[in-house]
Amino acid sequence: MCLGIPGKIIEITDPALLLAIVDVSGVRRQINITCVIDEGMQPADCVGKWVLIHAGFAMARIDEEEARRTLVLMEEIGALQDELASIRNASV
C-alpha cells in the first residue's frame, strides 16, 4: 500500500476533473492526475509521461528509467503481481 506503482499516462479522459488513463504493466485504468499538474501545465502535457501512483492518484512525475527500475523491483518482491491484481479485480 505504501509502495506506489509506476504507470504511463496514455490518454486524458476528463480534462476538467483531471482524470487520465494510465498503463501499468499492460493493465489500464483511470487515475486522477491533480497532484502532478503544475501551474501553467496543461493536462495534455502529461500524455506519454510516467507517474508514481498511489491508490488511483498520481503523486509524482518520474523518469522512464526510474519507472522501469521500480517495476522490476516490485516484480521481484512480489508486490507488482498483488498491485496489478488489485487494479484488475477492483469491484466497481
Q: Which residues bind another protein (CB under 8 A)?
A: 1-4, 17, 29-32, 34-37, 52, 54-57, 59-60, 62-63, 65-66, 68-70, 72-73, 76-79, 82, 86-87, 89-92
C-beta closer to another protein: residue 9 or 52: 52
Smallest separation (angstroms) from another protein to the CB of 8:
16
CA distances from 43 to 36, 57, 63, 65, 82 (A): 9, 14, 17, 22, 29
Smallest separation (angstroms) from another protein to the CB of 47:
19
**Distance (Å, whole) CA 87 – CA 92:** 11
Smallest separation (angstroms) from another protein to the CB of 54:
5
**Distance (Å, whole) CA 41 – CA 34:** 11
Reading the block at residue 4, the C-alpha cell is 506506489
